[in-house]
Structure 1
Amino acid sequence: MNAFCRSFGGHKVSDLRIGVVGYGTGGRNFHTPFIEAAQGITLAGVVTRSTERTAEVAADWPGVPVFGSLDDMVAAGVDAVTITTPPGTHPELAFQAIAAGLHVMVDKPFAPSAAEGRELAAAADRAGVVLSAYHNRRWDADARTLAGVLSEGRLGKLWRVYSRMDQHNPGSLTAGAADGLLLDLGSHLVDQLIWLLGPVRSVNAHVDWVETDSGCTDAGFTLDLVHTSGARSYAEASKANHAEARELRAYGSKGSYLSLASDVQAAAVLSGLRPAAKPEDWGYEDRGHWPILSTASGRQRIPSLQGRWQDLYGAFAKAIRDGGPAPVPAGEAIRTLQVLDAARESALAGSTVEVGVP
């Protein structure tokens, strides 16, 4: 019997009890507000050893218990956990949660490498628990809107897509096997592009290196991806160039698509708003940021679809309750890591690298 059923005497109930491990920027802003807004899931606790973070949890989520360790949270009783601690700690904590029979959501990067991701996936399979990656940006307003345009065939045969995400935040760059911008923003961009265009066959990468207090790390990248469909995509990002931008461009046989988005969900939650307060209004880009579709018929603004990061958590709870697949299965996270592994190899070798089979 899995942890979800075991916690309730084998009876299915409406809400999955999830604990959040870590309450830094990610746990506080990009997880707990969306757990609150999701269907079928309840925030059951937070793990943090920081006095400051403990006070923040008490202010943000009155009555939600705080635990000093994952073991303490497991002993108190939860059905699942989200791992949102520093990237290098993800595998150890995920293995610990899986061994305790918990379902697990792992923030990006899912693992430092595809090989380590496979080890996590194998452990989850053996334990019979649901393991999902928190690739929440599949639920971005701009990505959802482009997916709709592509599914309707409005660009004809798709030729290429450009995805750019610049965030000037050099202080957040650290060196380590699970650190650097490729595994940070690269996890988001590559996952989105595979979700939109399908598997990647080869990668050619350029990486910008900087020296930090913790060592040398990557602060920017440009990836040239060839997909098995024949389409091409280009992903680029930076954190040390005094640039702030989010851009999606697509070109096909019938025209082009340009989106200059505001990253509306991140902006809203960082300003103190919560998606549960007005879910019907959440996650829409304003008209000035609606994408432009250009075809033989002319240019037109395409209304923004709704961005809903909370749906990833709702789908996670549903997968556990109904026995279906995870919203972002471990295999898909591993596929993204394979591309990132190949990108690192390409950047170091200065040549195109083929991506292996997951």
Structure 2
Amino acid sequence: MRLGLVGFGSGGQFFHLPYIQAAPEWKLVGVVTRSPERCSSLAGEAPGVPAMDSLDAVIDAGAEVVVITTPPSTRCELVLRALERGVHVVADKPFAPDLETAQELADAADAAGKVLTVFHNRRWDTDFVTLQSVLTSGELGTPARATFILDQDEPGSLEPGVGDGLLRDLGAHVVDQAIQALGPVARVDAHLDWVDADHARVDVGFALGLHHVSGAYSSVSSSKLGYRAERGMIVYGSRGSYASRMRDVQADDALAGLRPVTVRAAGDTWGAEDPDRWGVLSTADGERVIPAIPGDHTEFYRRLHRALAEDGPLPVRLDEALHTVAVLDAARRSDAERRSVEVGVR
């Protein structure tokens, strides 16, 4: 199937293009970028793939699906235009600034009879794939409580615009992970860290308490201004606990210049974590190191193709993405009003 990539900033270059290239089911017909520097980067990363100057141009070139990875403030308009042109859409996260806008986009997709999905690619992070395998095994018993930490030492990558901030950025990922692990969220307690940047008030860190419909509770936190890079996942269940502190393996490797296609061509495994960072399962039988399962964000694009070509399940259902946005809305409101806020359950 034919696909167009709209936007070639760090997201397009490091977190979309390498995985599109690694999925042979897709033919990339063009990338929308006007920057001479980014056009040069595209020529190096994807020789022969043309740079184009508009969404319409890439659709006119035959794209059946477009991936929107432009800055958040431009995304909604482009999603609506793509649906109007009759193509399927992958929207980067956050795919909308609030639930009302997200529902507007969902309604537009329904009216157009086209697929709209959201790039929650961190479902295929190495540490999260491994955690899911532990949960599926049943060795933890019934999950009761979890902690998810995603700190990045990247102050320069914060989006300072109104309605942007870290909660809408990394928060969309880590909240989606918590929901995938423990189920839908019923109620939120939130604290956000705020600073003034570029004449706007922007959140640069958050700590969320998520009360899940299942009765489980998760603590979700992130910061980009703490001058530390830390990832942690701890889950407590009725039979024990599991804890991991793996790296952001795929992002680290992509930013270092590695790509899934070339790594595999060399006979190595993409997304593999060093054994000294593998997680530990603790039960009545003692502690056991759990070998990490290599993650691969290419799986998003493989599943998307199966969904469109073979009527398989989408990699990220739209109702799941809407629920994540609803949780983020509740977190904003909880912080502003200094109280717990109920979330509409899907």
Q: Same fold (TM over 0.5)?
A: yes
Q: What is the aligned partner in structure 2 of residue 284 from structure 1?
A: 272
Q: What is the aligned partner in structure 1 of residue 202 from structure 2?
A: 217
TM superposition shift of 1:124: 0.9
In structure 1, how many angstroms separate the alpha carbons of the residues matched to 2:345 and 2:248?
A: 32
Equivalent AA in structure 1 for residue 4 of structure 2: G
Q: What is the aligned partner in structure 2 of residue 67 from structure 1?
A: 52
Q: What is the aligned partner in structure 2 of residue 9 from structure 1?
A: none
Q: Which runs of 4+ in 1 moved over 3 A?
A: none
Q: What is the aligned partner in structure 2 of residue 232 from structure 1?
A: 217
Q: What is the aligned partner in structure 1 of residue 324 from structure 2?
A: 336
TM superposition shift of 1:22: 0.5
| Structure-2 change in CA distance of 1:98 and 1:126 (3 Å) | same
Output one character per residue of 1:207-244: Cα deviation in whole Å (capped at 9) or x when no partner: 00011124110000000001000110010000111111
- The answer (yes or no) to whether the contact 1:226–1:233 under 8 Å persists in 2 is yes
TM superposition shift of 1:87: 0.9
SS at match of 2:263: coil
Equivalent AA in structure 2 for residue 285 of structure 1: E
Q: What is the aligned partner in structure 2 of residue 30 from structure 1?
A: 15
Output one character per residue of 1:291-318: Cα deviation in whole Å (capped at 9) or x when no partner: 0111111111100012010010111111
Equivalent AA in structure 1 for residue 82 of structure 2: A
Equivalent AA in structure 2 for residue 48 of structure 1: T
Counterparts of residues 97-176 of structure 1 (less than 5 Å): 97-176=82-161
In structure 2, how many angstroms separate the alpha carbons of the residues matched to 1:298 and 1:38?
A: 41
- Please, which runs of 5 or more residues in structure 1 have no aligned partner? 1-15
Asked if 1:350 corresponds to 2:345, the answer is: no
Matching residue within 185, 206, 211 for 2:170: 185
- The answer (yes or no) to whether the contact 2:303–2:312 under 8 Å persists in 1 is no
In structure 2, how many angstroms separate the alpha carbons of the residues matched to 1:277 and 1:303?
A: 24
Asked if 1:207 corresponds to 2:192, the answer is: yes
Output one character per residue of 1:126-145: Cα deviation in whole Å (capped at 9) or x when no partner: 11111110000001111111
**Greater Cα shift, 333-342 or 69-78:** 69-78
Asked if 1:309 corresponds to 2:294, the answer is: no
Equivalent AA in structure 2 for residue 64 of structure 1: V
In structure 1, how many angstroms separate the alpha carbons of the residues matched to 2:25 and 2:163?
A: 32
Equivalent AA in structure 2 for residue 354 of structure 1: E
TM superposition shift of 1:189: 0.4
TM superposition shift of 1:277: 2.0
Q: TM-score, normalised by structure 2?
A: 0.97
TM superposition shift of 1:326: 2.1
| Structure-2 change in CA distance of 1:129 and 1:148 (3 Å) | same
- The answer (yes or no) to whether the contact 1:174–1:214 under 8 Å persists in 2 is no
- The answer (yes or no) to whether the contact 2:30–2:50 under 8 Å persists in 1 is yes
Q: What is the aligned partner in structure 2 of residue 10 from structure 1?
A: none
- The answer (yes or no) to whether the contact 1:202–1:226 under 8 Å persists in 2 is yes
- The answer (yes or no) to whether the contact 1:109–1:178 under 8 Å persists in 2 is no
Matching residue within 74, 77, 82 for 2:67: 82
In structure 1, how many angstroms separate the alpha carbons of the residues matched to 2:48 and 2:203?
A: 40
Equivalent AA in structure 1 for residue 193 of structure 2: D
Equivalent AA in structure 2 for residue 353 of structure 1: V
TM superposition shift of 1:177: 4.0
Question: How many residue pairs get matched?
Answer: 343
In structure 2, how many angstroms separate the alpha carbons of the residues matched to 1:129 and 1:178?
A: 27
Q: What is the aligned partner in structure 1 of residue 234 from structure 2?
A: 249
SS at match of 1:93: helix
In structure 2, how many angstroms separate the alpha carbons of the residues matched to 1:285 and 1:172?
A: 25
- The answer (yes or no) to whether the contact 1:201–1:226 under 8 Å persists in 2 is yes
Aligned Cα root-mean-square deviation (Å): 1.2
TM superposition shift of 1:39: 4.2
- The answer (yes or no) to whether the contact 2:162–2:201 under 8 Å persists in 1 is no
In structure 1, how many angstroms separate the alpha carbons of the residues matched to 2:172 and 2:205?
A: 13
TM superposition shift of 1:329: 1.6
Equivalent AA in structure 2 for residue 303 of structure 1: P
In structure 2, how many angstroms separate the alpha carbons of the residues matched to 1:352 and 1:233?
A: 14
In structure 2, how many angstroms separate the alpha carbons of the residues matched to 1:169 and 1:135?
A: 20
Equivalent AA in structure 1 for residue 343 of structure 2: V
In structure 1, how many angstroms separate the alpha carbons of the residues matched to 2:37 and 2:258?
A: 21
Matching residue within 309, 324, 328 for 1:321: 309
- The answer (yes or no) to whether the contact 2:22–2:261 under 8 Å persists in 1 is yes
